[in-house]
Chains A and B, each alone.
Chain A
């Protein structure tokens, strides 16, 4: 009797578990969601913010007519862009949802592009929403775009399936870097003036005359934009960005250093490896000093200069020239960051915090001024190890034979 009771109970329990296991409330079917692969944030007139989402089209569209009514990108791409404005990101998202038949799904979003106007206005509101909303991912990369973000999202590049892919692939190359949400929130917490740098991009069309460029529809990396207290306060152009990369040890292998040579000579070095160390020190009379030590190795890539790689003295001169070139770009970047923007995106603060925690606590309140007055000392040594296939330069070959 008792056994039968238990069996009946177990059966009941089993049946009862069926409706529970489906998790009815949060059931989401794949064909009910609109997968967002990239998002753009733009400033609109009068405190409004525009949220644009690049949405993946699950079935390859056969005709462009299907996309009517949406702010469509190029018809042959597999994504389209839809946007809506609101007084905050949350409201903009709600309005964007109203325009779509499917539920917005943020789980696969890897890219946030923020328009320059929005960045200058301040991005703290947007970051709060992005980080608070549980469906977002901390690994998503952030970019600042020249002009409006929606234009960058609308790009249908030739080499990659959509603009989000194009951007993330672009970031892997040696000329660019990635900055994700986690890094930004870390820097907001750790730096006294909330200073950080975000890659700055624009679309090819703005850069050059369309008729001369085969592939205008790609995002281009244009440098870094600097942020202080949640607002964008300036830009580093491509040249200054080199200096920034050198100081922060973000130079990747395969970087080419092209030297400025007199007359028509050329000399270029392909970097194979480099390391930058920052050595902070406080002098007895209370001056804060930072030594920037760069060590690297490279191979000769091009040489039509008067310098001969195989000649010991001239090889040394060649190395000296390379070092000077690197020092120059570091100096320029330092000058702009320290004097013009007074924005510590170089992690100097953290180094001093580790060196002298007590003094740091006192000085961090007026870190911006302190930072601009830090004395820097450069120590660059880049060795040129191999000449490549040729051991002589073309202009000299003839003379050697005679």
Chain B
């Protein structure tokens, strides 16, 4: 396997992969769960992020040739290992199908009212399929070009809102004790744990010794941006934030300077489309990679388009309407995703270590 990307590129990809959907959706859900203390939820969830990066790196070191797929097969036997791999792939398909559908719903709700949602999803998936067929290097370089632009645009939205903010809204702190903050943090942790997918691209990273460092920087960076987003949204619209489906979008619509610098919400759309492009491409890539390794394909490129078709169909199988997506993301989805991306790796790690101890 060739070493192709730098650890900085890895950092950028993971950074955007997690932020893309979270910034837009998270403030609403956390306000609903944590009330006035919603802004501090990312701080606690970052711990889950750090732990996930650590586990991912440890598993990578244990794995033969650094492949997570091979690790499962070698630790649990071929049949069980392959079964677990297939299950994990289906899990990823499920998660990304929800994210893709949510992307489509956002665009249709706010911008393309009359365009059918499948057109938006199909065009995105075709683009992603193209990138995935180009390989991880293409994806990483695309990220190097676009991710800084996305981040700067996002920050600009928050900077423009500064004059409208009222810092006193965040008081009183811990109004209903610490329990609501914990509830909100669990939901945010559901985003952080997705960083586990980094394990699939670790074999491609050139400088192995800096992986952990950049991994932790990545979690910190994500946490900071989430914190900025949360604080800005809450100081702008306080508890009413939970009643908007996309509070950051509403906040961007609120920007107005000198009666002509208005209507900048198109920036949010650009950020969202580009961000989701990286998220979907990344998942697409990991699904493609793990599936081709599990099935031990000679010519893996042939499965790219079938995977795309599977993703497309899953987006419509999984949810009938916005109600189902919203309910899944804010309720059952959190525990589901934490089980897959946080508890599952921890268990695998524990079992592998115990098995090695017993052998020795």
**Do they bind each other?**
yes
Q: Is the CB of A138 within 8 A of B263?
A: no
Q: Is the CB of A23 within 8 A of B240?
A: no
Given contacts A138-B254, A139-B254, contact A189 B238 (CB under 8 A): yes
Given contacts A189-B243, A354-B172, contact A134 B113 (CB under 8 A): yes
Q: Among B240, B256, B263, which residue has its beta carbon within 8 angstroms of that of A186? A: B240
B260 at interface by CB-CB < 8 Å? no
User: B250: nearest residue on chain A (CB-CB)?
Assistant: A138
User: B168: nearest residue on chain A (CB-CB)?
Assistant: A354
- Residue positions of A touching B, CB distance < 8 A: 20, 23, 25-26, 107, 134, 137-139, 182, 185-186, 188-190, 353-354, 357
B183 at interface by CB-CB < 8 Å? no
Stretch at the interface among B83-91, B104-112, B135-143, B289-297: B104-112
User: A135: nearest residue on chain B (CB-CB)?
Assistant: B113
Q: Among B109, B114, B171, B238, which residue has its beta carbon within 8 angstroms of that of A354? A: B171
Q: Is the CB of A353 within 8 A of B172?
A: yes
User: A355: nearest residue on chain B (CB-CB)?
Assistant: B172
Given contacts A20-B123, A354-B171, contact A26 B109 (CB under 8 A): no
Shortest distance from the beta carbon of A57 to any chain B beta carbon, whole Å:
21
Q: Which residues of B contact A354 (CB under 8 A)?
A: 168, 171-172
B207 at interface by CB-CB < 8 Å? no
Q: Is the CB of B243 within 8 A of A26?
A: no
Q: Which residues of B contact A20 (CB under 8 A)?
A: 119, 123
Given contacts A107-B263, A189-B240, A354-B171, contact A138 B253 (CB under 8 A): yes
Given contacts A20-B123, A25-B115, A354-B168, contact A134 B263 (CB under 8 A): no
Given contacts A139-B256, A189-B238, contact A25 B114 (CB under 8 A): yes
Q: Among A26, A138, A188, which residue has its beta carbon within 8 angstroms of that of B115? A: A26
Q: Which residues of A contact B111 (CB under 8 A)?
A: 26
Measured CA separation A357–B172 after assembly (Å): 7
Shortest distance from the beta carbon of B66 to any chain A beta carbon, whole Å:
31
Q: Which residues of A contact B263 (CB under 8 A)?
A: 107
Question: Could you name 26 residue pairs across A and B whose Cβ atoms are closer than 8 Å?
Answer: A23-B112, A25-B112, A25-B114, A25-B116, A26-B114, A134-B113, A138-B250, A138-B253, A139-B253, A139-B254, A139-B262, A182-B236, A182-B240, A182-B254, A185-B237, A185-B243, A186-B238, A186-B239, A189-B243, A190-B238, A190-B240, A353-B172, A354-B171, A354-B172, A357-B172, A357-B175
Shortest distance from the beta carbon of B251 to any chain A beta carbon, whole Å:
9
Q: Which residues of A contact B238 (CB under 8 A)?
A: 186, 189-190
Q: Is the CB of A182 within 8 A of B113?
A: no
Measured CA separation A138–B123 after assembly (Å): 31
Shortest distance from the beta carbon of B39 to any chain A beta carbon, whole Å:
16
Measured CA separation A353–B171 after assembly (Å): 9
Q: Is the CB of B115 within 8 A of A23?
A: yes
Q: Which residues of A contact B236 (CB under 8 A)?
A: 182
- Residue positions of B touching A, CB distance < 8 A: 109-116, 119, 123, 168, 171-172, 175, 236-240, 243, 250, 253-254, 256, 262-263
Given contacts A20-B123, A139-B253, A189-B238, contact A134 B175 (CB under 8 A): no
Measured CA separation A378–B117 after assembly (Å): 60
Measured CA separation A189–B237 after assembly (Å): 10
Measured CA separation A25–B119 after assembly (Å): 10
Measured CA separation A138–B253 after assembly (Å): 7
User: A351: nearest residue on chain B (CB-CB)?
Assistant: B168
Q: Which residues of B contact A107 (CB under 8 A)?
A: 263
Measured CA separation A216–B170 after assembly (Å): 46
Measured CA separation A300–B347 after assembly (Å): 78
Measured CA separation A139–B243 after assembly (Å): 16
Q: Which residues of B contact A26 (CB under 8 A)?
A: 111-115
Measured CA separation A23–B262 after assembly (Å): 23
Measured CA separation A190–B166 after assembly (Å): 14
Q: Which residues of B contact A185 (CB under 8 A)?
A: 237, 240, 243
Q: Is the CB of B237 within 8 A of A186?
A: yes
Shortest distance from the beta carbon of A164 to any chain B beta carbon, whole Å:
12
Shortest distance from the beta carbon of B276 to any chain A beta carbon, whole Å:
17
Measured CA separation A189–B240 after assembly (Å): 6
Shortest distance from the beta carbon of A244 to any chain B beta carbon, whole Å:
19
Q: Which residues of B contact A190 (CB under 8 A)?
A: 238-240
Measured CA separation A354–B237 after assembly (Å): 17
Measured CA separation A12–B226 after assembly (Å): 41
Q: Which residues of A contact B262 (CB under 8 A)?
A: 139
Measured CA separation A63–B110 after assembly (Å): 39
Shortest distance from the beta carbon of A52 to any chain B beta carbon, whole Å:
24
Apart from A25-B116, A182-B236, A190-B240, 8 more pairs, CB < 8 Å: A20-B123, A134-B110, A138-B254, A139-B262, A182-B254, A190-B238, A353-B172, A353-B175
User: A136: nearest residue on chain B (CB-CB)?
Assistant: B253
User: A358: nearest residue on chain B (CB-CB)?
Assistant: B175
Measured CA separation A138–B243 after assembly (Å): 13
Q: Which residues of B contact A139 (CB under 8 A)?
A: 253-254, 256, 262
Shortest distance from the beta carbon of A188 to any chain B beta carbon, whole Å:
8
Shortest distance from the beta carbon of A266 to any chain B beta carbon, whole Å:
38
Q: Which residues of B contact A353 (CB under 8 A)?
A: 172, 175
Q: Is the CB of A189 within 8 A of B239?
A: yes
Measured CA separation A26–B116 after assembly (Å): 10
Q: Which residues of B contact A137 (CB under 8 A)?
A: 253
Shortest distance from the beta carbon of B19 to any chain A beta carbon, whole Å:
24
The 6 closest A-B pairs by CB, nearest first: A25-B115, A25-B114, A189-B240, A357-B172, A26-B112, A357-B175
Q: Which residues of B contact A182 (CB under 8 A)?
A: 236-237, 240, 254
Shortest distance from the beta carbon of B79 to any chain A beta carbon, whole Å:
38
Measured CA separation A23–B253 after assembly (Å): 22
Q: Which residues of A contact B243 (CB under 8 A)?
A: 185, 189
